[in-house]
Structure 1
Amino acid sequence: MTSSRRRSPRSLFLGPSAALLVLAAAGCSSSAAQPSITVPTPSSEAAAYCGALHKELPQTVADLERSDPGPDSELTAGWGDGAIVLRCGVPRPAKMDDAQSKAIDADGVNWMLEQRQDAGPRFTTTYRKAYVEVTFSEEYAHDVSPLAAFAAPVNRTVPESL
């Protein structure tokens, strides 16, 4: 009977430990496959535009397959396991107040460019009723052509504001 008491606490101790190891391993593997990002909290009007945009987004961008980051949301999308990440309904960047800000036009959509340290560029739409942000990994730092894949969906779903 003494031996069964020893086994009982040991088996209870090993059970949760083993479960924690499995959960930790699962957490590591899923985060490697799909990076986690912060989901924006836009107004209800902007969220409606973002929901419409989400349905129009392409399955591939720059030959990268769609792989949305976690947590699952209509306000976020991704391609190439985090190489390109889109967030819709982000706050208006303070940098837009800077007259020296750089912007580019990609097929009729104007994007403000922000160069981030130790990361690829971030682009945010301007003159739209919802701000759409797209970040590129450093691999795409010198290639703005993936923005063209977002032009038609943004034009169809997120109205201009003046």
Structure 2
Amino acid sequence: MNFFRHRHTASLGLPALATLIAIAGCSSADDSASVAVPSPGAKVTRLCQNLDKVLPRTVDGRRRADPEPRSALTAGWGSPAIILRCGVERPPKMIDPKVATGDDPKAVAGGVNGVDWLMEKQDDGTTRLTTASRLAYVEVTVPAGVDASGALIDLAPSVKKAIHKGIAD
């Protein structure tokens, strides 16, 4: 799978991605809700455990406050929380040709500081971002009023260190 085969999609920079995130809008996350813990295979679980060890204490100025149930496959920052889940399934939109050509108004592909992401506006208004071209899929959900570019900038070094480039199984 060559998800970023279209040069104009792969070169979508931080300013353009930030603009798209602002346009897409987000809604607040329910702080009392539990987070579904992914259940990947052993190889991806190890990668996610390594990611958990190198995640920053703060993301976009928010302190780490992991959701329930506690797991090395999930993390959270702030309230309402920015939520990270590692080892999720590949989003169906990731192979949608409309996304690759920029023809899907609810999804866009781009890169931030060396990490490629698929950004999807959800029906509930939240924004879900999922890594692409990595050995494990990492999903970040951003609530309303939060500029997702700050979170992606803060998370990029950890993702690059723990989840190497490649194609997830």
> TM-score per shorter chain, which class?
0.7 to 0.9
**1:65 and 2:63 are equivalent in the alignment:** yes
Which of 72, 84, 87 is the equivalent residue of 2:85? Answer: 87
Give secondary structure in 1 for the equivalent of 2:87. strand
TM-score of the aligned structures, taking structure 2 as reference length: 0.72
Q: Which runs of 5+ in 2 are unaligned?
A: 1-29, 100-107
Please tell me whether residue 110 in structure 1 is matched to residue 110 in structure 2: no
How far has the Cα of 1:152 moved from its partner? 0.6
1:96 is aligned, of 94, 97, 100, to 94
2:147 corresponds to 1:149: no
Partner of 2:125, secondary structure, is coil
- Structure 1 segments of 4 or more deviating over 6 A? none
Aligned twin of 1:51: 49
The one-character-per-residue Cα deviations of 1:67-121 (angstroms, maximum 9, x if unpaired) are 0000010000000134200000000111111122211211000000110122321
Report if the CA contact (8 A) 1:88-1:131 is conserved: yes
TM-score, normalised relative to structure 1: 0.75
CA gap 1:44/1:82 in 2 versus in 1, 3 angstroms: farther
Residue in structure 2 matched with residue 20 of structure 1 by the alignment: none
> Judging changes above 3 Å, is the alpha-carbon distance between structure 1 residues 143 and 128 closer, same or farther for their aligned structure 2 residues?
closer
Instruction: Kindly indicate whether structure 1 or structure 2 has the higher relative contact order, using CA contacts under 8 Å at least 6 residues apart.
Output: 2
Picking from 142, 149, 168, the partner of 1:136 is 142
Q: Is the 8 A contact 2:31 2:81 kept in 1?
A: no
Report if the CA contact (8 A) 1:77-1:87 is conserved.
yes
Partner of 1:18: none
The offset of 1:33, in angstroms, is: 5.9
User: How many aligned residue pairs are there?
Assistant: 130
Query: Which structure carries more helix by proportion?
Result: 1
Q: Distance in 1 between matches of 2:33 and 2:80?
A: 6
Query: 1:126 and 1:68 mapped to 2: Cα distance?
Result: 24
Larger radius of gyration: 1
Aligned match of 2:27: none
Q: RMSD across aligned C-alpha pairs, in angstroms?
A: 1.5
